[in-house]
Amino acid sequence: MTASSLTSSFTPTITSPTLDSPTAASAQTDRFVHDRLPTPAQWPKLVYPLPELRIAAQANLVDSLFSQAARNGHANRPLLRSDQITLSYAEALDRVNRIAQVLIEDFKLVPGNRVLLRGGNSIGMALAWLGVVQAGLVAVATMPLLRAKELGDIIEKAQPVLALCDAGLLDELHTAQAQSATLRTVIPFNLMNEPGSLAVLAAQKDGHFRPCPTSSDDIAMMAFTSGTTGKPKAAVHTHRDVLVACEAWPRHVLKATPEDIVIGSPPLAFTFGLGGLLVFPMWAGASVYYPSTAYTPEAMVQLIKQAGATICYTAPTLYRQMAPFARQHCLPALRLCISAGEGLPDATRQLWKDATGIEIIDGIGATEMFHIFISSKGEDVRRGAIGRVVPGYSARVVDEDGVEVPRGTLGKLAVIGPTGCRYLDDARQGNYVKDGWNYPGDAFVQDADGYFFYQARADDMIITAGYNVAGPEVEDALLNHPAVAECAVIGLPDAERGMLVKAFVVLKPDQPAGDHLVKALQDHVKATLAPFKYPRQIEFVATLPRTETGKLQRFKLRQP
């Protein structure tokens, strides 16, 4: 493929229309997601205060990113890297178009159909995601660690008609598929010589595909988050949402260049990983390195050095564990390190800076908002603070009535900007969006200079090593063990992981407590849920603190 052929036949013009300009007609004939969005009165107020945030009425996210690469002369620059292969922007586009052809021509999907994606961070997973969105379908990415039960909950909510899955992760998905009335087809995406695999089917196509001419307000993706109840919530994002996200934090804080090589650990199924390890590098004309082996702290440091990576995304826990190896190996090419997903302790920030000389860029974002909305560049970092609001967004600390509190006062964070929360068919929309403002559920203090200092989660979400764990979900798994009568799960502060999952368990009569039962319960949770959700501490108690009406008082369990 030549550089000139990288520009597809449908090239949207990203202009600066007035906000009152009409919306382009939707190209998505399957209206399942559109029809299940919140009512307009429940929507967040979406604002586009900067010219670059005003996207044309007709835009396809993936086509826009590849078209921008062509206009900037990046067609033959590397985009996707691994230890086995490197694909240029032009080569990646050819494969993306072939995948889109398979989905539309062979499986007769129509724009708006949902496609579930299951896989770790790999070139195959990235190409699959891009192909789905290029075709006007709705990408529903899921974490590779999820079990059949968790996948089943997502399938029931999103009702995908087809799934693209890493060949090594098929078993749990097939188990979930057997319980689904809508998921008809599961295709492995990384088997090169297997009939019926996505790679073989795509190789039979010619790559001539006209990207779906989506409205910028058509749906590009659903990102699932469990919240505090363990019941999955689907945050819906349009093509416009992701394009404006590229023009916010990446433009004003990250400032990546085409010479950058990006590496990191957040899964592509998280919006933190999807933005940092695919969409934002494409927007900058940069490239991404996906390792073929699992990360350990030492292995990640070695890969950063071997790949010549210049930008790293990961959670505070891993930065802390990587620091001694970074000091030992030296990382001369590395220049930007981004942390999100959990609170960044100042001790971890200083440890990493001492080891590498690099000031970590901290940030807070949300699945519901797509990505980071509070952050600061390295030279603007203030110790203990996450940063200041990203241009394009507004944020404030408010009381229970939504009234802004004086600077230096503890309150709840409220955010408004060009992206916002829209859950799929979920009564919890009203908890997140109030009077047009988004409430991520975090307690903050803002100082006189506009810096935001994170205090704690305002709900019972446990964030451990960058992963979200809902206590009630773990409780449900424990209660299914025959030895457990009652239980409660909380998060405890931990220097290494940010928080630890701890369970308080009341045993049934005649069940002996002991180390053997601790391990049995932990193994039971690992077999039921994603392994990172298991309780690392279990304490056996006679009773649990409850109100007179029987409501569990978790705050008492958190007290020393």
CB 313 within 8 A of CB 289: no
In a domain, 263, yes or no: yes
449 in the same domain as 538: no
Q: Which residues are within 8 A (CB) of 428 and not within 5 positions of it... i.e. 6 or more apart?
A: 227, 233
Res. 3 pLDDT band, cuts 50 70 90? very low
Report pLDDT for 486. 86
Res. 230 pLDDT band, cuts 50 70 90? low
325 in the same domain as 200: no
In a domain, 323, yes or no: yes
Report pLDDT for 371. 96
Q: Which of 265, 225, 470, 227 is nearest to 370 (CA)?
A: 225
In a domain, 231, yes or no: no
192 in the same domain as 275: no
- The conformational region for residue 321 under phi > 0 = left, psi -120 to 50 = alpha, else beta, is alpha
Q: Is the pLDDT of residue 328 over 80?
A: yes
Mean pLDDT taken over the chain: 90
Q: Helix, strand, coil proportions of the chain in percent (round to 5)? A: 35, 25, 45
Report pLDDT for 459. 65
Q: Is the pLDDT of residue 207 over 60?
A: yes
CATH number of the domain residue 190 falls in: 3.40.50.980
CB 165 within 8 A of CB 186: yes
Radius of gyration for the chain, computed over Cα atoms and rounded to the nearest angstrom: 23
298 in the same domain as 161: no
CB 375 within 8 A of CB 361: yes
Residue matched to tokens 């390295």: 378
- The conformational region for residue 296 under phi > 0 = left, psi -120 to 50 = alpha, else beta, is beta
488 in the same domain as 345: no
Name the residue range of residue 149's domain. 64-214
CATH number of the domain residue 418 falls in: 3.40.50.12780
Q: Which of 357, 303, 345, 342 is nearest to 320 (CA)?
A: 345
243 in the same domain as 205: no
In a domain, 193, yes or no: yes
Q: Among 433, 459, 485, where does a domain finish?
A: 459
Number of domains the chain contains: 3
Q: Is the pLDDT of residue 470 over 70?
A: yes
Q: Which residues are within 8 A (CB) of 56 and not within 5 positions of it... i.e. 6 or more apart?
A: 12, 13, 14, 15, 17, 24, 216
164 in the same domain as 268: no
CA distances from 440 to 75, 114, 406, 429, 433 (A): 38, 26, 20, 11, 9
pTM score of the predicted model: 0.85
Tally of CA atoms within 13 A in the half-sphere of 271 that contains its CB: 25
CB atoms within 10 A of CB 391: 16
Q: Lowest mean pLDDT of 88-97, 463-472, 525-534, name the range.
A: 463-472
Residue matched to tokens 């039979």: 204
In a domain, 227, yes or no: no
Tally of CA atoms within 13 A in the half-sphere of 382 that contains its CB: 15
- Span 332-343, average pLDDT: 90
Of residues 289 and 380, more confidently modeled: 289
In a domain, 387, yes or no: yes
In a domain, 27, yes or no: no
- Span 192-220, average pLDDT: 94
251 in the same domain as 208: no
111 in the same domain as 194: yes
395 in the same domain as 346: yes
- Span 342-352, average pLDDT: 84
Q: Which residues are within 8 A (CB) of 39 and not within 5 positions of it... i.e. 6 or more apart?
A: none
Q: How many helices (H) and strands (E) does the chain have?
A: 17, 26
For 408-419, how does the pLDDT look when each residue is reduced to its tens digit (9 = 90+)?
Answer: 998 899 999 999
Q: Which H or E run contains 300?
A: helix 297-307
Phi, psi of 141 (to 5 degrees): -85, 140
- Span 497-502, average pLDDT: 92
164 in the same domain as 78: yes
Q: What is the DSSP letter of 546?
A: B
Report pLDDT for 8. 35
CB 417 within 8 A of CB 392: yes
415 in the same domain as 296: yes
Tokens of 59: 């835009």
- Span 399-426, average pLDDT: 95
In a domain, 12, yes or no: no
CATH number of the domain residue 494 falls in: 3.30.300.30
For 109-160, how does the pLDDT look when each residue is reduced to its tens digit (9 = 90+)?
Answer: 999 999 999 999 999 999 999 999 999 999 999 999 899 999 999 999 999 9
Res. 346 pLDDT band, cuts 50 70 90? confident
Res. 550 pLDDT band, cuts 50 70 90? low
Tokens of 154: 């997502």
For 46-67, how does the pLDDT look when each residue is reduced to its tens digit (9 = 90+)?
Answer: 999 999 999 999 999 999 999 9
- Span 3-17, average pLDDT: 34
